[in-house]
Structure formats: structure tokens, C-alpha cells
Structure 1
Amino acid sequence: MRVADTGRVMFALAFIALGLLSLFSRDFASVWQPVPEGVPARAFLALVSGAVMLVGGAGLLLRRTLVPASFALMVYTLVWLLTLHVPRVIMGPLHEITWGGCAEIVTLVAASWLLYASAVTSNDKPYFASLSGPQAMRAARIAFAVVLPLIGLEHLIYAKETAEMVPGWLPYHMGWACLTGIAHIAAGLAIALDVLPRLAATLEAWMMGIFTVFVWIPSVMATPSQRFVWTGLAISTVITAAAWIVAASYRDVPWFSFSRSRNRVAELATR
């Protein structure tokens, strides 16, 4: 299976898992979807949210439904971002944790947009020219890139909490917490500035994958009855998949390209 398909399939399966968790629990994703308890028809809305993630994720697995499914998830994650996370940033602009949560959802918007922009043609429905093609793909990559430093800053500001998540068999927990924060920032800057963007996106995807394997899988194995750890595993997986989708979008760009990569992508896309 190609890297591009691997990222898409992983993205799809993670959304399916999040959808199933919402449907079975009749609740939103723990922490990630901070819907207040007093919202009218909250349980029903959670079921609708779960159904959208389940059906959207399943749609990504089939080529003939990839375009409408990726568009639906792009809209869904954008609504998720604007209604649940942006208000928290506005109300608490000095709390980096709200910026970090916002940044994580932007990675999903960007990945869904990339899937749509790279797959849609004028014969597909829905088709929006402004959201497709190389310029749209570039905008989606930039959206992904600019939020990575926010995730990195969250690692640095909350280094103590991050260090507690480092596997016990690894030494220098605080060092790893700081190193990963710096790596997020470096990857975001590299992608945004077109400095080794393919390498930077790939390394970001590998780092996120390592988090998933060494932090969340052991957590699920240790406490399999807790919905929180299953949600954490699904969340970590979907962000990892988003990074793989971004990395795969650079498959026609040389590994060691610099600012010329932007022109190279546009040239290849017009052939």
C-alpha cells in the first residue's frame, strides 16, 4: 500500500473509531469535543456527531465516495473548530492549552481539505474550484504547518505534564518533552517556509506515530475499560494520519528541496 493510501486509510479508521465511541457512549469525544453539559439535546447531538464521523470515515475508504466524504469531514471539522475551540481561545487567549487544542483540530481540517483538493475533479459533486488544485493544496499545507508550533509550545509550557507521558523505560523524561516540542516547531516552520518540506512532514508523521505506539497503545492495554484512553488512542492516530496525508502530498517533491519545491509542485500539477 502506498504512503498516500496508508495515511488516508489510517485517517478513515481513526474517524470510524471516534464515531463508534460517540455512538456507544452517547457522548462527545472526551476533552477534544468540549460541549457543555447544559446544551439542549446534547445526547442526540453526540449521536449525530458520531454518525458523521463514522459515515465520513467509511466514505474515505472507497474511491467512489472519497470526494463527498472528504468534503463532509472538512466541513464537519471546520464547524467543530469554530464552535468548540475558537470561542475557548477568545475567552482564554493567554492559556496555551486552548491554542493547542485548537491547533489539533486545524490539522484535521487541513488533512480533510488535502484529500478533497487532491481527489476532486470538475465532474465530481460537490465541486468547488477554489478548494481544489495545487493552490488549495498549498493553502491546506500552510494551515497544517502554522499550527504545529502551537502544539510544540504546548509541549514546552506544559513540559512537566508532557514528561509524565513519556514511557517509564526511557531516561530523561523532561528532555524528551522539550525535544518533541522543539521538533513540532521546527517541522511547522520548515513546511511553511518550504525548507525540506517533504522531509519535515514525514518526520512529523513518524514522531506522532511513535507517540501513538509508545504512549497510547500501552495506556489502552493497561486500562482497556476506560473510554478516555481509547479516545486518546483514536485522537493520536487521527493526528498521525493527518501528518501522513500532508507528507504524502509532497510525494512528487524531492526530499532535499528548499524554496523551489513550491514551483515544482505547481509545474507537476499542470502537466
Structure 2
Amino acid sequence: MKEFALIGQLFIALALFVFGIQHFAYLNFVTRAFPPLPLWIPASGVFACIFGALLCLTSLAIVSRYKTRVFTLLLASAIFIMFAIFLLPSLLVNLKNGFLWTNSGKALVLVGANLLVAGSVAGETSNSLLKFLERFIPLGKYLLAGFFILAAILHFIYAEFVATLIPAWIPAHLFWTYFAAIALIAGAIGMLVPKTAKLAAALSALMVFLWVILLHIPRAWTIHDANETTSLFEALAMCGMALLIMVKAAESRNTPQ
């Protein structure tokens, strides 16, 4: 199981590094990790680089095992604060906007990704603030499950649009759209039930990884824009999250009560 934990961590680290590089490449907030800053805030490109650096440093901390819990907890906090200040208010006044729901959900799922990585490494914090942030580590799996349910709902609401994202060589696009929605809900619920958490997380990781291979990589290869690249690595990060949930569930089942 340790190998799966390592793979999950590396998937998340790779996603964070790519997001950080995108900030530098575009000098803008082009990923869902952080929302774009309002126009009244000057030097947006400078802030994009600052947050891009935080993403890259956290990625390197995960890979190097140096202060991993510190960096992931700080990044999770930064993503959540930016979400609460700049994205949540827009969502609350535009509740019918599927685009904002998706962006909000993906920001929170990246909070969860960092929490899951923090929970998968040995404790190394002594600062009182970091000890406070550690209390939120268990929320990681709920944030992934919550996003799965949100994505499933959006699959049903925007079924015809989602169907257009499926490769042309795959038949019955609407069928697979609804099937994926049901699978997302089943995976979300299964990951939260102790008896089924390991299997549900494993199957969810496999499902999302197949989407990476069949859907996201081909789209990113043919459609050269920041959104497709971001979507590819968001999916990879979610696959990594599911793997970490699987490992944690396996460890919990093997621990004497």
C-alpha cells in the first residue's frame, strides 16, 4: 500500500507543479487553484507569480519529503482563503452558474488534495497555527466526495454539453454521461462508508485515471490552451486523492480497534 500512497502523492505534486508553471507562463491566474484577482487590484501578474511559486514549492516539498506537512497545510489554507474572499461571493449571487460551481468545487478539491497529502506523511509541526490547521486534515476525503457529487449533478444538468466532451470513437455519449454521473455518486458515498471506503476509493482512482488517458490527454494534446492542461492535471490530482483515501482506509481496517 505504501507504493500507492507514493503514487498518489506524486500525482498531486505533479499537478501542483504544472499549475505553478502555468502561473509563470501566463502571468495570470489561469488555473482553478486560485481565482483571478479583481481588476482593482494592481500588479496581478506579480501576485500570479507569488502564488505560482507557492504551488511549485509545495510540489517540491512533497517530492523531497522536506516540510511536506507544513507546505501542504499552508497551501490548503491559501487556496481556501482565496476561494472564500474572491470566488464564494460571486457564487452566492450566481447560484445558477454551472461554471462558477465547477470552479468553486475544483478549488475546494485542491484544498482537499493538500489536506490528504498532509495526512499521509508523518507529523512534523510544532507551530500553534499549523497544529490548528492539522485539525482539518480529515476533511480531505469529504472534499473529494463532495466534488464527485457536485460533478455528478452537473453531469445531469448539462448532459448534452458533457456528452460533447466524450471522444467521437466512443459510442452512446449520453449513456456514458449518465453512467459517469452515477459512478461518481457511488464512489463518493462508498469512500465515506468505512466498510466500502477502500474498494470505492480504488475504483474511483481507476475511473478517473481512465478519464485522464481516454479524455483529458487527447484533448490537451489537440486543444492547446490553459484550460485543457489544467483539467488534465486536476483529474490526475483527484486520482491521487482517491489513492491516498484507499491507503488510509486500508490502514484503518488493519489497525486493531
- With the length of structure 1 as denominator, give the TM-score of the two structures: 0.83
Could you tell me how far 1:4 is from its partner in structure 2?
0.2
SS where residue 29 of structure 2 aligns? coil
Deviation at 1:3, TM superposition (A): 0.4
Indicate the SS of the match to 1:27. coil
Q: Is this contact kept in 1: 2:34–2:79, CA < 8 A? A: no
Q: Are the counterparts in 1 of residues 112 and 144 from structure 2 also a CA contact under 8 Å?
A: yes
Q: What is the CA-CA distance between 1:230 and the residue it aligns to?
A: 2.1
In 2, Cα distance between the equivalents of 1:211 and 1:47? 30
Query: Does structure 2 retain, via aligned residues, the 8 Å contact 1:27–1:46?
Result: yes
2:155/2:162 contact within 8 Å kept: yes
Residue range with higher mean Cα deviation, 27-36 or 62-71 = 27-36
Partner of 1:213: 213
Structure 2 unaligned residues grouped into runs of 5+? none
Label 1:202 to 1:226 Cα distance change in 2 as closer, same or farther (>3 A). same
1:230-245 mapped onto 2 (5 Å cutoff) = 230-245=229-244
Q: C-alpha offsets along residues 196-223 of structure 1, whole Å, 9 cap, x if unaligned?
A: 1111112112111111111121122224
> Which residue matches 1:82?
84
Match of 1:60 among 59, 62, 84: 62
Q: Superposed, which structure 2 residues align to 1:1-271 within 5 Å?
A: 2-30=3-31, 33-36=34-37, 38=39, 39-121=41-123, 124-126=125-127, 128-129=130-131, 131-132=133-134, 137-223=137-223, 225-253=224-252, 267=256
The structure-2 alpha-carbon separation of the partners of 1:120 and 1:88, relative to structure 1 and needing over 3 Å to count, comes to farther
Distance 1:229 1:147 in 2: 19
Counterpart CA distance in 1 for 2:197 and 2:109 is 16
Asked if the contact 1:19/1:54 (under 8 Å) is kept, the reply is yes
Contact 2:191 2:245 in 1 (8 A): no
Residue 64 of structure 1: CA displacement? 2.5
The range that moved more, 52-61 or 137-146, is: 137-146
> What is the TM-score when the length of structure 2 is the normalising length?
0.87
CA RMSD of aligned residues (A): 2.5
Structure 1 gap ranges (5+): 255-263
Measured in 2, the distance between the counterparts of 1:244 and 1:180 equals 19
